[in-house]
């Protein structure tokens, strides 16, 4: 037996991409970071993120093209919620605003979430799609994953370490399951 849901809830049933934390800089060099729940791979080296047209991150990407996409661990749920609770236009640098630990991405030097499972240094590939629809296609230029979490033989996260956050509703999240 199936339950027929309102189509406005379709995304909650279809959601599968991990929650991500997106770091950008504005023209003046101010760091920004936000959480985004709508993300997925678009191609082997292209990520797809859906952003609100009014967000500071979107404005930063319209002015520049670089971003860092971090995969927070389940232990970083509270940080992810904080980052989504204020707009960068109101708070300035959210790392400073919340006194959050950070590290600088290796090539870009952008502040990114310290101790995330992994992060990707990316460049926006279709500025018009972002400007028109809020869809951010970004080419992965560098990808970094914690050594202890990745198995080179299977080319995936090691079993038991799939602890990325997946948004369910409000402040509720699920984590990835085991490899079967």
- Which domains are seen in the chain, by residue range? 19-175 (2.30.110.10)
What are residue 104's phi and psi, to 5 degrees?
-90, 135
Give the burial class of 115: count Cβ atoms within 10 A of its Cβ; 0-12 exposed, 13-18 middle, 19 or more buried. Answer: middle
Provide the β-strand partners of residue 41: 47
Predicted confidence pLDDT, tens digits, the chain (180 residues): 866 777 776 665 666 567 789 999 999 999 999 998 888 888 989 999 999 999 999 999 999 899 999 988 888 888 988 888 888 778 889 999 999 999 999 999 999 999 998 899 999 999 999 999 999 999 999 988 888 877 788 777 766 556 676 655 666 666 665 544
- Region of 117 (left: φ > 0; alpha: ψ -120 to 50; beta: rest) is alpha
Question: What is the maximum span of the chain, computed from C-alpha positions, in angstroms?
Answer: 56
Residue 173 near residue 74, CB atoms below 8 Å: yes
The SS3 of residue 30 is coil
Report which of 149, 82, 154, 79 is spatially closest to residue 117, judged by C-alpha positions. 149
């Amino acid at each position: 037996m199936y339950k027929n849901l309102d189509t406005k809830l379709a995304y909650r049933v279809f959601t599968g991409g991990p929650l991500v934390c997106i770091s950008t800089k504005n023209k003046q060099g101010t760091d920004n970071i936000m959480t985004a729940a709508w993300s997925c791979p678009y191609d082997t080296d292209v990520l797809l993120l859906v952003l609100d047209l009014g967000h500071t991150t979107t404005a930063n990407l319209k002015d520049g093209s670089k971003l860092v996409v971090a995969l927070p661990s389940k232990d970083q749920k509270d940080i992810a919620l904080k980052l989504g609770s204020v707009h960068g236009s109101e708070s300035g640098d959210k790392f400073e605003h919340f006194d959050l630990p950070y590290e600088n991405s290796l090539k870009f030097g952008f502040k990114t979430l310290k101790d995330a499972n992994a992060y990707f240094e990316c460049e926006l590939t279709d500025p018009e799609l972002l400007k028109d629809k809020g869809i951010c296609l970004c080419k992965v230029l560098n990808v970094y994953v914690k050594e202890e979490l990745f198995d080179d033989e299977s080319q995936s996260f090691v079993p038991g370490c799939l602890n990325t956050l997946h948004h369910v509703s409000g402040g509720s999240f699920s984590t990835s399951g085991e490899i079967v």
